[in-house]
Structure 1
Amino acid sequence: MEAVRNAHLVLPDQVVSGSLAFSDGVIASVDGGASTVGEDFEGDFLLPGLIELHTDHLETHYNPRANLRWNADAAVMAHDAQMAGSGVTTVFDALRVGMDYDAHLGRDDMEVLAQAVEAGARAGRLRADHFIHLRCEVSADDCLEGFDALAHHPLIRMASLMDHAPGQRQFAKIESYRAYYVEKLRMSEEVFRLYCERRVAESERNSAKNRVAIAERAVAKGIVLASHDDATAAHVREAEGQGVRVAEFPTTREAAHLSREAGMAVLMGAPNLVRGSSHSGNVSARELAGVNELDILSSDYVPYSILQSVFLLPEVVVGVSLAESVRMATSNPARAVGLEDRGALAGGLRADFVRVGVQGGLPVVRGVWREGRRVA
């Protein structure tokens, strides 16, 4: 039996000073009050290990420069170390399905990365527990073919349905789309116009049929479905009818509210919350938290942001406690994807936890344990 003591334990409904004991990878007990047994945490916070459902960061380690492929096993390890170092003990690595104009990677690369994640986990090289999340660009011509090529993979637990064509969803305002893509891809206005026409045509040709086909396949395989960038009541009704359980990054307050009413968990990006606004001009995560319509936080494209947002949220939104914000990064995502063995500091659950100090207003990871073994 091992133990830690003198910690501020962030429990599901409160923060208490006390100790935690664990054995064989499982939490044995959580106790309030003073103790003389175990490692002294010196009053630091003890959180459940964070659970990340949608990070796009793995691809950037594998493809750090245009036309460059890093060793896939090494890329997975670099990504894993960054996630664990940010307090994440369970991570869903997002791999794209459906290649669009600006994709530097292809379907073969996604298969290589999926195999590298599995190999790293099997060999015990990885600090966090890894699953795979398929980001399905349903407007792409090869989306369904790409999904079928990867759907057999044993680590796939989640798939999201997305369409980034201009004029709807994330980029309902063409000005935001222009600012994003003209700057990112350095397009001229004429090239941008032709690009938009192509993306809209692809969406009209593929999106509806691919949504239906992938939703049917995912439900049959037990893969948790997520919608992506829903903006309207029609989008939410479509997602509900297709068996979606998680509403990722709804772009309007209406879509978030209706998704919640339909029984979906609402997921928003932690970078949105930290910045105070969406980079695309869509609804603010802080606004949704203020009306109790935010369930899950995801680091998205900044791994550290999920931990940062957990401590920032109670400061910037009245009525949100630290225990509540921690649930958004632990027990809520665990429930959304059916991981009942983790997500809280409670007896019988996995001994996944994070020691966090606060310095200069920022949370600092001082130790990470996965199934009772220190990994960072």
Structure 2
Amino acid sequence: MSAPHLTITGAQVLRPDGMSDAPVGVADGVIADRGEGAVVNMPGCTVLPGMVDIHGDGFERHLAPRRGAMTDMGVGLAAVEAELAANGITTAMLAQFWSWEGGLRSPDFALRFLEALNAYQGFGTDMRAQLRFETHMLDDYTALHETVARFGVGQVVFNDHLPHDALNKGKRPPRLTGQALKSGRNPDAHLAMMQGLHARGAEVPDAVAALAARLGAAGVILGSHDDALPETREWWRARGVTLSEFPETEEAAHAARAGDDGIVLGGPNVMRGNSHAGKVSARHLIGLGLCDALASDYFYPAPLRAAQIMAVEIGLERAWALVSDGPARLLGLPDRGRIALGLRADLVVLDRAGRVCLTMAGGRITHANGAGAAALLAARY
């Protein structure tokens, strides 16, 4: 189905050179001059570039709501797309674990997810896969590399969620029983598995370096997760891992900026005013210029709300860039993130109260609330 032609008038439009009340046209899926098609009048509204979510795992609840409930993952992906669109997100990296944690974070589930995403025919939102790979899964390195190549995965983030402190002390990690049951293992077997992974820690650095080199040579964008120390960030950068997701300290964020690495922070952290885990405040880092992109993390409404919060402190243009142009640049997607002629027609329209009333992705309408639908009907769209 071809994308429609329309022109939005009467609204304020955020363009690269600032706000403008000039109409914005859409033709054949890209931003165009005012032209043929419906004229959608939206007085009092603000038209902004569609949001690019560089990291979000909020889709998990749609794909695995309860055990046995999801027999067709495509149904879950349709629900994911609907939520993304309702929150003004037009491009989304779905952050799927490849983890020893099992369950919906297991390699088997990751493969099912990638198969379903590859087959999914949506209504416009650009949904892509990010794989979050647990570094101590040494026996999975070949399978991970083959999976990335098979499905054309464009982003891999290295994680390490093993409870090393407890394992070093020979203690049972907290929440062991609950984690084990979610993974389908008994607690003793789950603990033994973690202990085995932990024991091979000395092998991890060389294995990671080799895998990162192979993935980087194939053009895969690589990131590290929860950098706590400057030395950690520098270690990753030396291996071609140039995105720092959710640095835990100001020092690690400064190290990322000094090395010209991309810095991704969490929208929920901005909403809360601090990290739920007691780490550095995203608002503080943004104020220091130590952020390139805000992500939904685990809550799809977060990018919009975080941008609105930060707009009060740093202005709408800078704040909105953190959820549009900034993440688009980090992902190597120069065709989106801004409202300019010839770029993808990824747009979000906010009403006077700052609510999403219309979302367009690639020129297709993916969401319209009451006010947005009324404007479309009035235009005889």
TM-score scaled by length of structure 2: 0.83
Q: CA deviation at 1:269?
A: 0.7
Task: Verify the 8 A CA contact 1:143 1:210 in the aligned structure 2.
Answer: no
Q: Name stretches of at least 5 consecutive residues in structure 2 with no aligned partner.
A: 182-186, 368-381
Give the match's secondary structure for 2:150.
coil
Q: Which residue of 1 aligns with 2:330?
A: 336
Q: Distance in 1 between matches of 2:324 and 2:213?
A: 28
Q: CA deviation at 1:196?
A: 11
Q: Which of residues 358, 365, 370 is equivalent to 2:361? A: 370
Q: Which residue of 2 aligns with 1:292?
A: 289
Question: Residues 199 and 309 of structure 1: is their aligned pair in 2 closer, same or farther, counting only changes over 3 Å?
Answer: farther
Q: Which of residues 11, 18, 36 is equivalent to 2:15? A: 11
Q: CA deviation at 1:14?
A: 2.5
Question: Residues 371 and 145 of structure 1: is their aligned pair in 2 closer, same or farther, counting only changes over 3 Å?
Answer: same
Between the aligned residues of both structures, percent identity stands at 28
| Alignment deviations for residues 215-248 of structure 1 (CA, whole Å, 9 cap, x no partner) | 1121121011111111112111111111123211
Question: Residues 103 and 253 of structure 1: is their aligned pair in 2 closer, same or farther, counting only changes over 3 Å?
Answer: farther
Q: Distance in 2 between matches of 1:14 and 1:151?
A: 39
Which residues in structure 2 correspond to 1:224-235 (within 5 Å)? Answer: 224-235=221-232
Task: Verify the 8 A CA contact 2:114 2:151 in the aligned structure 1.
Answer: no
Task: Verify the 8 A CA contact 1:107 1:146 in the aligned structure 2.
Answer: no
Q: CA deviation at 1:201?
A: 1.8
Q: CA deviation at 1:336?
A: 0.9
Q: CA deviation at 1:204?
A: 1.7
Q: Distance in 2 between matches of 1:85 and 1:203?
A: 45
Give the match's secondary structure for 1:152.
helix
Q: CA deviation at 1:78?
A: 1.1
| Alignment deviations for residues 276-296 of structure 1 (CA, whole Å, 9 cap, x no partner) | 111111111001011111110
Q: Distance in 2 between matches of 1:374 and 1:277?
A: 35
Q: Which residue of 1 aligns with 2:64?
A: 63
Q: CA deviation at 1:66?
A: 4.4
Q: CA deviation at 1:199?
A: 7.9
Q: Distance in 1 between matches of 2:127 and 2:160?
A: 25
Q: CA deviation at 1:182?
A: 6.6
Q: Which of residues 141, 149, 153 is equivalent to 1:152? A: 149
| Alignment deviations for residues 158-212 of structure 1 (CA, whole Å, 9 cap, x no partner) | 11111113368xx9xx9xx977x4796499xx98x96897387257255323421
Q: Which of residues 321, 332, 348 is equivalent to 1:327? A: 321
Asked if 1:349 corresponds to 2:359, the answer is no
Aligned residues: CA RMSD: 2.9
Which residues in structure 2 correspond to 1:1-376 (within 5 Å)? Answer: 1-29=5-33, 38-66=39-67, 69-97=70-98, 99-101=99-101, 103-120=103-120, 123=121, 125-166=122-163, 181=175, 185=179, 198=195, 201-202=198-199, 204-315=201-312, 318=313, 320-359=314-353, 363-376=354-367
- 2:350 partner amino acid: V
Q: Distance in 1 between matches of 2:284 and 2:139?
A: 37
Q: Which residue of 2 aligns with 1:34?
A: none
Q: Distance in 1 between matches of 2:124 and 2:247?
A: 31
Q: Name stretches of at least 5 consecutive residues in structure 1 with no aligned partner.
A: 31-36
Task: Verify the 8 A CA contact 1:331 1:344 in the aligned structure 2.
Answer: yes
- 2:285 partner amino acid: L
Q: CA deviation at 1:7?
A: 1.1
Question: Residues 88 and 155 of structure 1: is their aligned pair in 2 closer, same or farther, counting only changes over 3 Å?
Answer: farther
Q: CA deviation at 1:90?
A: 0.8
